[in-house]
Structure 1
Amino acid sequence: MENNIRLKRNVYKNYIFTLLQSLDFTRGIWMIYLASKGMSLTQLGLLETIFHTTSFLMEVPTGAVADLFGRKISRIMGRVFSLISVILLLSANSFLWFAISFVFTALSYNLESGAGDALIYDSLKEIGEEETYMKVNGKKELFYQAAGIISFFVGGYLATKSYNIAFLLTVVIGIITIVQSLTFKEPNIGRINSKEEKENIFVNQLKESIKVVISKPKVGFLILFTQVIMAFCTCIFFYLQNYLKGNGYTEWTIGIIYAISSLTVALLATQVHSIEKKIKEQGLLLIVPFLTVACIWGVALSKYSYVFFILLMITEEIIYVSMSDYINKMIPSENRATILSFASMVFSFFMITLFPFIGLIGDKFNLTTAFKCLAMLGSILVIANAALLISRKRTHTK
């Protein structure tokens, strides 16, 4: 009984953890900050490529660490690495040290990406409440977006005074987050305890996880679908900072725009399960991608690009919350963190290609042209996705 109570508390502790982890006052300004340090758009693209190359190579191994040695341990290590990355970013003045900082940032994301979701889903599963995961995940997103509102408002304002203050406050919050991450209870589901089972543990874990994905093609499709959408949205999220700055917006104004987007998404997050019930999985897979690409076109072509950016963040939120629930329901606990890390690895693969491409086009021409290229590529992909889904539906109905 006591064990169940502690596992139940994981859910509420995770809301606090999400708030603290996401209180990053550099979120809306780091690209502008690095540009002020002399980095070009191409160099910014290369730094993000370094981040995602590290993430691509280390996602699955770190996911295996979470499955084999504990989600809690993986989460704590992730926070320590995140703190190191912020300190390096604040103190560095060269591309090399910025790159090293991005390596640590990537590792912090790797260690959290599969472990955090697995920790909460398996806590719920162990007490028989896994069916509430979509609601829980939606509420978690509410805290994430609330932290975003604070981060963008405060970070944008501080950036007009001093970038250093924004980074130092983020360091303080990072230390507090490490302490709070020590309070979680590790669920027993999926844990490997015997010494015999730990022989060749990494290789066996990877093999078993790959077998799960191969045996369930729908898992692979949903992972691919979700990560493509998120890669496109992430490119807009980061490069829009420099785009708006170049169009005369101050860091404070940019912070307000990003804060409004977080507020809007926060209000929507807890209602995603209701939206999913109305339009179902097929509706999500067909309608939302078209809306996403329409928003990218709006960012590229409209003088009200910030309005379409906010709408874009809404479509991303709907996809993330709903697809996360679908995927978790189809995979076993003992492979959960590793398979969720596969998803992050797919995201990194697309970002390695897309992010530097946008930076290069932005340097050679301008970011408007880069956004148009992204919108054209997105249009091709959503049309192909729709054709594939309609074809599969017809095949299944025959």
Structure 2
Amino acid sequence: ILKRVAGLKNFHTLCPFLIAYGLFYGLSLFNIFFLQSLFAIAVIVLEVPAGVLSDCYGRKRCVCYGAVMAIVSASLFLLWTSFFGFILAELAYAMAFVLFSGSDTALLFESSDRQQYSHHESRVQAYSRSSEGLSGFIGGLAYSLSIVLLPILELIAAIILLYQTLSLKEVRSSYPAHWRGSQLRLAWLEQLRSLKQHFMNPDNGFIRLVILFSAFVSTITLSMFWLLQVWFAQHHLAPYWMGCVWLVYHSCSAFASLWVKPCMARLSIDKLFIGLFLGCTCVVIIGGVVSSQGVLILFLLSALLFGFKMPFIFCVINQSVSHDIRAGLLSLDSCVSRALFAVISLVVGYVVQAFSFQAAFYVLAGFQVVSFFILLPLIKYKQVASV
């Protein structure tokens, strides 16, 4: 069921064409990047509280509520097409995102054999990426008929998602069946304190560095995701071909996800961190000097990095923390990533509109320099821990 849930929650026919959809209804590029920054800020505010809520209220309940908010978001995109309507739709989607984030991964870890978890996580991530690719292809075909079909298809997928989440079973039985408001607030505050103590504990420096490094990799790959949509708009690609590119893009991510377990079995974790850093560095440096047509290859490389990074980071975090704060820490990872992206997306959106598409890569290259100074202590910490 979790594989189907992963596929359905990532079945986004609208997301690959959101820039085209926004431009169709009169939004500017800056407006659209502002919406992504707003989404990131909403995730920052809601991510950790949602993860903590999952730890003390239940994984299944949170993913069910997430499916409901996905329905609300798709409905708003369909019915309220002003800039304010887009804002509300993005906020609803942010709520859906945070309610799923951490909860579904924690549920998978708690229902899996520890030796097989990395295999299951890779498979679930592959389902997610494959679903995104397939939805992009279907979205391209639907866009060829009418752009209005995009949110309609996403709404249908969200309704099926709700049905699937209701079929999930809670692994742990310690969650109360009912909470009074005061009880939930006290439990939430206590869980939040536990999460803070764990994160700030000097003995948990490795986890802090993993979360920070993960945020930098996510920001690069997320920026590339949205720059690909700008590339579509600048080259006036037909909707069908846009869908084909999305299918290849997410197929690359799915392929990379399947290689996490073999790579973790053969290579040390610090070498995998170095590989992610070098991959991101190649993307942003080469992207600033190659022709606009050649950038498409770099988009596919960023898809490979994104597909590998997600299950790899989840495996590292899940295997390093206890179940009591697992969802909260996974949510914190996503929260920090979105915080960085909230800042960078505004800068990238402005640079693309005011200067050039290529100039955005110079911004990302400067950003990548900072991640080098996080990578160094991360590798050193891991080497010391191994000794």
Q: What SS class does the counterpart of residue 170 from structure 2 fall into? A: coil
Q: Distance in 2 between matches of 1:69 and 1:86?
A: 26
AA matched with 2:377: L
Does 1:346 find its partner at 2:336? yes
Q: 2:65 aligns with which of 68, 77, 81?
A: 77
Q: Distance in 2 between matches of 1:182 and 1:299?
A: 44
AA matched with 2:169: K
Q: 1:176 aligns with which of 143, 160, 179?
A: 160
- The CA deviation at 1:292 is 1.4
Question: What percentage of residue pairs aligned between the two structures are identical?
Answer: 19
Q: Distance in 2 between matches of 1:372 and 1:244?
A: 20
Q: 1:203 aligns with which of 180, 189, 202?
A: 189
Alignment of 1:296-307 (within 5 A): 296-302=284-290, 303-307=293-297
Does 1:118 find its partner at 2:106? yes
Are residues 54 and 268 of structure 1, via their aligned partners in 2, closer, same or farther at CA, if it must alter by over 3 Å? closer
Question: Do the aligned partners of 1:118 and 1:336 also contact (CA within 8 Å) in 2?
Answer: yes
Q: Distance in 1 between matches of 2:125 and 2:184?
A: 35
**Larger displacement relative to structure 2 (69-78 or 35-44):** 35-44
Question: Do the aligned partners of 2:7 and 2:130 also contact (CA within 8 Å) in 1?
Answer: yes
Question: Do the aligned partners of 2:122 and 2:260 also contact (CA within 8 Å) in 1?
Answer: yes
Q: What SS class does the counterpart of residue 102 from structure 2 fall into? A: helix
Does 1:291 find its partner at 2:275? no
Q: What SS class does the counterpart of residue 301 from structure 1 fall into? A: coil
2:372 aligns with 383
Q: What SS class does the counterpart of residue 211 from structure 1 fall into? A: helix
1:282 aligns with 270
Alignment of 1:238-387 (within 5 A): 238-302=226-290, 303-378=293-368, 380-387=369-376
Q: 2:148 aligns with which of 164, 171, 187?
A: 164
- The CA deviation at 1:392 is 4.9
AA matched with 2:252: T
Are residues 265 and 393 of structure 1, via their aligned partners in 2, closer, same or farther at CA, if it must alter by over 3 Å? closer
Question: Do the aligned partners of 2:270 and 2:379 also contact (CA within 8 Å) in 1?
Answer: no
AA matched with 1:275: C
AA matched with 1:147: S
Q: Distance in 2 between matches of 1:16 and 1:205?
A: 30
**Larger displacement relative to structure 2 (296-305 or 355-364):** 296-305
Q: Distance in 2 between matches of 1:221 and 1:264?
A: 27
- The CA deviation at 1:88 is 0.5
TM-score by length of 2: 0.92
Question: Do the aligned partners of 2:39 and 2:90 also contact (CA within 8 Å) in 1?
Answer: yes
TM-score by length of 1: 0.90
AA matched with 2:320: M
Question: Do the aligned partners of 1:227 and 1:343 also contact (CA within 8 Å) in 2?
Answer: yes
- The CA deviation at 1:47 is 0.9
Are residues 384 and 188 of structure 1, via their aligned partners in 2, closer, same or farther at CA, if it must alter by over 3 Å? same
Q: Distance in 2 between matches of 1:106 and 1:199?
A: 22
Q: What SS class does the counterpart of residue 89 from structure 2 fall into? A: helix
- The CA deviation at 1:186 is 0.5
* Gap regions ≥5 residues in structure 1: 1-12
AA matched with 1:282: D
- Taking only aligned residues, the RMSD between alpha carbons, in angstroms, comes to 2.2
Q: Number of matched residues?
A: 381
- The CA deviation at 1:225 is 1.0
- The CA deviation at 1:197 is 7.9
Alignment of 1:42-61 (within 5 A): 42-61=30-49
Question: Do the aligned partners of 1:190 and 1:333 also contact (CA within 8 Å) in 2?
Answer: no
AA matched with 1:312: S
- The CA deviation at 1:181 is 0.6
Question: Do the aligned partners of 1:212 and 1:331 also contact (CA within 8 Å) in 2?
Answer: no
- The CA deviation at 1:377 is 2.1
**Larger displacement relative to structure 2 (100-109 or 231-240):** 231-240
The superposition leaves residues 257-310 of structure 1 with CA deviations (integer Å, 9 ceiling, x where unpaired) of 121121222233222111122221110112221111212333343232111111
Q: Distance in 2 between matches of 1:363 and 1:64?
A: 39
The superposition leaves residues 154-187 of structure 1 with CA deviations (integer Å, 9 ceiling, x where unpaired) of 1112212211112211111111110111011101
AA matched with 1:268: A
AA matched with 2:29: L
- The CA deviation at 1:112 is 0.5
Q: Distance in 2 between matches of 1:283 and 1:202?
A: 37
Question: Do the aligned partners of 1:145 and 1:262 also contact (CA within 8 Å) in 2?
Answer: yes
1:224 aligns with 212
Q: What SS class does the counterpart of residue 39 from structure 1 fall into? A: coil
Q: Distance in 1 between matches of 2:185 and 2:96?
A: 26
Question: Do the aligned partners of 1:63 and 1:341 also contact (CA within 8 Å) in 2?
Answer: yes
- The CA deviation at 1:62 is 1.2
Are residues 97 and 65 of structure 1, via their aligned partners in 2, closer, same or farther at CA, if it must alter by over 3 Å? same
* Gap regions ≥5 residues in structure 2: none
